[in-house]
Structures are given as C-alpha cells and as structure tokens.
C-alpha cells in the first residue's frame, strides 16, 4: 500500500479510480458521472458536466482539481488523465503548468491526434492505414467522416454527400476488417502488450458507437508480432509513455492502423488485475522508472474477460434503487436521469475463453437493461 494521493480526471474515471485503489493509492477524482462505485473508490471526488465533442471546460475543471488538492490528506504525486482530453491539447498544457502529468505530454497527444502529422508519420514509417485526407472527397461513397480527438466511436459517421468545411473533421476511406486493439505499457526500459477484440453498439446515425471488448486475444503469431512491432515503432517515434492503446482493423491478415489513444483506455477493465498492476506500472513508466519487475512478477490479468457499455437505448431512464449485480460497474445513483441513448452502466464477464466471456457479457447487457427499465416504473420515469 503506497498511501500516496493521485489526481484522476476523465469523462468516466471509475476504472482508473478502481485500479489506483487496488494499487494502494488514494484517488482524488473528477469525472462527468459521479457514479456510486466511483465515489466508493475515490478518497474525494467532484462531478462536472462536459460534452463529448469539446471535453471539459478549463475553469471549472481547474477549480475542481484545486478543491481536491485542498482536502487531500497529503500532496498528490501527479495527475492521470483518461478520456476527454485528446480534443483539447491546450487544456492539457494548462494542466501541465499546475500539476505533474502522469502520462503523455501535450505535444505527444497533439502528434497522435493531428491527422496531418499522424498519418504523415505512418506513411514515413511504412505503416499501413486506410486512405485518409483532410478535405472531403469528391465522391463520398465508401468514406467516413471523423471528428479530430473524438472517442467512443461517436465521432465517426458515414460521410454525407454534401460536407460543410470544418477544420475539426477529417475523412477516411472505409475498409472492412476485424477491430483489434493493442493495449501497450510502454517505457524506455520495458514494454508489455495485450490484445483485445472490439465490437460496436450501432445507432442509425452513429454506426460505430463503441460496444465492448474482450481479451486476452490469442492471435496468429506473425500477426501478433506485426502489431507489436508497429506499436513499438510508433512508441519510439512519437515518444509515447505509460498505458496507450493502438486501434487496428485487420483485413485479410493485414493490419491497418486507425488511431492511437495516448492514455489509459476502456480495456483497463479487461487487463488489470486484483493488485492494480497496470496503474502501478503506468505511474512507474511515466516517472522514467523500470516497470519490468512489476510486469514479470505481479501482473496477473484474467484469462478471458469482456467489458461492454450498456446504453439507455429504450429511452430516458430515471435510475431505480436496485441491488446491483457484482458484474455491473459505473452504477449511477438512484434518481439520476439518464438521457436517451447515453451510457448507463458497464457490464463485465470472466470466462475460460474469449468467446465464452463475450457471450456472457452480451447476455448480461440484456439482463441489466431489463432490470433497470422494469424497475423504473416505481420511480415515475417517462414511459
């Protein structure tokens, strides 16, 4: 048990707070949901509104972090950022002026999220990716339009026939393939990688909305080696450090890199262990230390685990007071109003193999959805 305090900020910070607590840290948390389990893991927490498109607003975020520092039992060792910051490297730079960032620098984040810089780097290194451009193609069939710095798949739409100029957008030719994500723990002294398979929870206008993921995935050895080689090459080239995810589409055995998320991602739920080893190694790697001992002796990820998001797709929901199953996380407070099609909770499942874990996870999504929507009648929620 370290007993050290650490600041955490993310759209949803529960997974990071849980990992930090398992690792012996005292997490001080800012996020947008204020879920029951997030508050249980946090030594202190603040809940702020934020928009997926634009992220956090600087002034209230800074004020919330300062208020957490003021009540901390000892000075925090630094600030860990999760989702919600890739769209605003300037805000990350402001945070870096006040706190030690336990993660990637603002310039590294910008270099992974600026399409002009990022895809030029891939071309220079000979790394395959879908055809990408910053201006709309003349023929939009088979093209996607993406918002720079977006996350959760909500930033991806089918390219419309007529496109208004927007510097926040870029365009990528659509290809079919299997979505494979590589979680990397990268440092100057040691590296570790784990593979997951992802799926979507599509909406009519948001066909690539994130659904869930399952790992640890066993791939054909040559493909796995290529994915790791690409991840290592880009980690060196871009100066990445700590927990990072590399998202690929694999088509006919050929990996095509879509993007890098230079922060701890959704698969932390899949690959972390009971000791919070991934959080520990993230802190160690970002401090310039050697996480190899922790990775080789302490990291014991589940054999197969799936995690998926449950959305309020049946309509707005006033959350009933229910007895949450042990396999449900990101538990909203009773009486919370969840807007139509917004994230409602996270479902987890362990099994002997990845196919069984995914099947159980998908089944549990339906069970939890039924439980919450059937229970809403007692809360007077919209029917």
For residue 40, the cross-strand partners are none
Mean model confidence pLDDT for the chain: 93
* DSSP class of 159: P
Distances (CA, A) of 18 to 197, 246, 264, 265: 23, 23, 13, 13
The pLDDT of residue 297 is 80
Beta strands in 19-168 (DSSP E): 26-31, 44-47, 79-81, 132-133, 143-147, 156-158
pLDDT for 158-194, tens place per residue?
Answer: 999 888 888 889 999 999 999 999 999 999 888 999 9
Euclidean distance between CA atoms 53 and 83, whole angstroms: 12
For residue 5, the cross-strand partners are 26
- Residue 53: pLDDT above 70? no
Contacts of 359 (CB under 8 A, 6+ apart): 351
Instruction: Please give the structure tokens belonging to residue 304.
Output: 């197969």
- Residue 381: pLDDT above 50? no
* CATH architecture, domain 110-297: 2-Layer Sandwich (3.30)
Work out the average pLDDT over 149-158: 87
The pLDDT of residue 162 is 87
Work out the average pLDDT over 334-356: 96
More confident residue, 167 or 122: 122
Work out the average pLDDT over 245-261: 96
The pLDDT of residue 380 is 38
* CATH architecture, domain 5-102: 3-Layer(aba) Sandwich (3.40)
Percent of the chain that is helix, strand, coil (3-state, to 5): 30, 25, 40
- Residue 378: pLDDT above 50? no
- Residue 39: pLDDT above 50? yes
- Residue 114: pLDDT above 50? yes
Work out the average pLDDT over 300-307: 93
CA 274, 225, 176, 258 torsion: positive or negative? positive
* DSSP class of 161: S
pLDDT band at 238 (very low <50, low <70, confident <90, very high): very high
CA 105, 106, 109, 114 torsion: positive or negative? negative
């Amino acid at each position: 048990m370290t007993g050290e305090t650490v600041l955490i900020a993310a759209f949803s910070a529960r997974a990071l707070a849980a990992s930090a607590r398992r690792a012996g840290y005292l997490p001080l948390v800012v996020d947008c949901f204020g879920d029951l389990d997030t508050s249980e893991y946090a030594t202190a927490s603040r809940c702020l509104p934020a928009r997926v498109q634009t992220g956090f607003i600087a002034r209230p975020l800074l004020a919330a972090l300062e208020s957490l520092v003021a009540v901390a039992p000892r000075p925090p060792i630094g600030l860990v950022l999760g989702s919600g910051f890739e769209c605003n490297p300037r805000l990350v730079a402001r945070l870096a002026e006040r706190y030690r960032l336990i993660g990637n620098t603002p310039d590294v984040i910008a270099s992974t999220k600026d399409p002009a810089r990022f895809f030029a780097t891939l071309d220079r290194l000979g790394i395959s990716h879908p055809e990408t451009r910053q201006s709309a193609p003349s023929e939009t069939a088979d093209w996607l339009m993406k918002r720079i710095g977006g996350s959760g798949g909500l930033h991806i739409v089918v390219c419309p026939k007529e496109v208004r100029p927007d510097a926040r957008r870029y365009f990528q030719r659509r290809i079919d393939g299997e979505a494979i994500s590589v979680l990397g723990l990268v440092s100057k002294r040691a590296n570790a990688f784990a593979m997951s398979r992802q799926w979507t929870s599509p909406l009519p206008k948001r066909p690539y909305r994130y659904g869930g993921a399952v790992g640890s995935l066993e791939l054909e050895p040559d493909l796995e080696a290529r994915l790791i080689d690409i991840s290592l090459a880009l980690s060196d080239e871009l100066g990445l450090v700590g927990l990072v995810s590399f998202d690929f589409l694999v088509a006919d055995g050929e990996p095509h890199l879509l993007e890098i998320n230079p922060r701890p991602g959704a698969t932390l739920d899949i690959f972390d262990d009971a000791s919070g080893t991934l959080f520990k190694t993230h802190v160690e790697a970002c401090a310039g230390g050697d996480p190899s001992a922790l990775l080789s002796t302490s990291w014991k990820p589940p054999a197969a685990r799936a995690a998926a998001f449950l959305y309020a797709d049946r309509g707005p929901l006033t959350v009933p007071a229910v007895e949450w199953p042990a396999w449900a996380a990101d538990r909203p407070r009773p009486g919370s109003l969840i807007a139509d099609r917004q994230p409602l909770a996270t479902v987890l499942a362990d099994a002997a193999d990845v196919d069984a874990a995914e099947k159980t996870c998908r089944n549990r999504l339906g069970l939890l959805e039924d439980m919450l929507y059937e229970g809403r009648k007692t809360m007077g929620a919209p029917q």
